[in-house]
Amino acid sequence: MRSPLPDFPWDRLLPDKQRAAAHPDGIVDLSVGTPVDPTPEVVQQALARAADSPGYPTTQGTQELREAAAGYLHRRLGVPGVSPDAVIPTVGSKEFVAWLPTMLGLGPGDVVVIPEAAYPTYAVGAQIAGATVVATDSTVALGPERVKLVWLNSPSNPTGKIFPADHLAKVVAWARERGALVASDECYFEFGWDSRPVSVLDPEVCGGSHEGLIAVYSLSKRSNLAGYRAGFVAGDPSCVQELLGVRKHAGMIVPGPVQAAMTAALHDDAHADEQRARYAARRDTLRHAFESAGFRVDHSEGSLYLWATRDEPCADTVRWCADRGVLVTPGDFYGAAGARHVRVAFTATDERVAAAATRLLATRDLA
Ligand SMILES: Cc1ncc(COP(=O)(O)O)c(C=O)c1O
């Protein structure tokens, strides 16, 4: 390893977690964005049907899975013309994010640009490769560095920000001029609330060519499949083939039964609509409760998080919430830009979300 990786940030939250757990009605954990609702029946059945799986699956994924992914991109995201050969399944999207710089052969002297407030694995991936990380939302801020990879994440974890098509198009044009690859993490694409997410592969953004672009998708949130480890990437056909070559050698293979489950999940929208409606209701409840308790909610147009602030250091806000039995994540987990925000996940059960709202609204009533 060229440089030591950061401590796993969640360990730092333990004291606040214990504090929140001391609440007489129990902790409401809104810190980790892990799904809590059942894996859809249609997906479980597909997994069970594929349980007899003695042979090795292919790294490229079955033709059925790649066709289902291309169909999904067209039907659900408005991205036409993706060839099934330009799709590969991933073992969840986190492994792809963490290993992309290494798979691309990046190393010392190469620059990876990540969002100012970002999912920590973008930086970790660059560090594993020994590349340099620059955290900025503005390409104008970049000097003459040798930028090789630009990460986008819209809707964003943690801020919920959604970039409009014209902003994405500017980043794509900037990167293409410099020969940098744009990797767009679209894991939260299904969760646009106040505006409609746009894919980097959308013709309005990319001008109809996927050259220099890779989009990253996850079924963890859309289909409650976090436990299956199921994601896929699509984009520039030659880049996808290059990555496939590395992944074959490295054994980055999605298990056969999971490939069958993913195929079923990508053909079915009913369960995703149902899940989306659950999150919409939880989001409304929590937004109202946090705002009533004096928080300001910034961005948060999409994703599964509220980006909330009391205009104080985030550690103080985390403590304030923990004293009410509610665990949230300090914004500085996601970079210095988050120092005065907390991230509130709305991936808890209806019962726990209602408990959090009751506690927060009681704060307002006492004021
Ligand atoms: C922005 C972002 N990208 C990628 C992931 C990884 O998701 P998974 O590995 O479950 O597909 C997450 C998980 O929360 C995320 O928030």
pLDDT in tens, 104-121: 999 999 999 999 999 999
User: Tokens 């999912």 label which residue?
Assistant: 119
Q: How confident is the model at residue 365 (pLDDT cuts 50, 70, 90)?
A: low
Q: With CA atoms as reference, report the closest residue to 145 among 176, 168, 196, 111.
A: 111
Nearest CA to ligand 1 atom 16: 157
Residue 141: predicted pLDDT: 78
pLDDT over 80 (residue 1): no
pLDDT over 70 (residue 59): yes
Let me know the angle formed at the C-alpha of 285 by 191 and 19, rounded to the nearest 5 degrees. 100
Residue 5: predicted pLDDT: 80
Residue 10: predicted pLDDT: 79
Nearest CA to ligand 1 atom 14: 33
Over residues 287-302, mean pLDDT? 98
Q: Cα(95) to centroid of ligand 1, in Å?
A: 9
Distance CA 208, CA 227 (A): 35
Over residues 216-228, mean pLDDT? 98
pLDDT over 90 (residue 301): yes
Q: Which of 99, 218, 347 to mutate to test the pocket of ligand 1 (most atoms within 8 A of CB)?
A: 218
User: For the whole model, what pTM was predicted?
Assistant: 0.97
Q: Cα(119) to centroid of ligand 1, in Å?
A: 8
Residue 197: predicted pLDDT: 98
Q: Which residues line ligand 1 (CB under 6 A)?
A: 33, 92-94, 97, 119, 153, 157, 185, 187, 218, 220, 226, 231
Q: Cα(365) to centroid of ligand 1, in Å?
A: 37
Number of the ligand 1 atom closest to the C-alpha atom of 95: 9
Q: Cα(189) to centroid of ligand 1, in Å?
A: 12
Q: Cα(164) to centroid of ligand 1, in Å?
A: 21
Over residues 309-335, mean pLDDT? 97
Distance CA 272, CA 281 (A): 14
Average confidence score pLDDT of the chain: 96
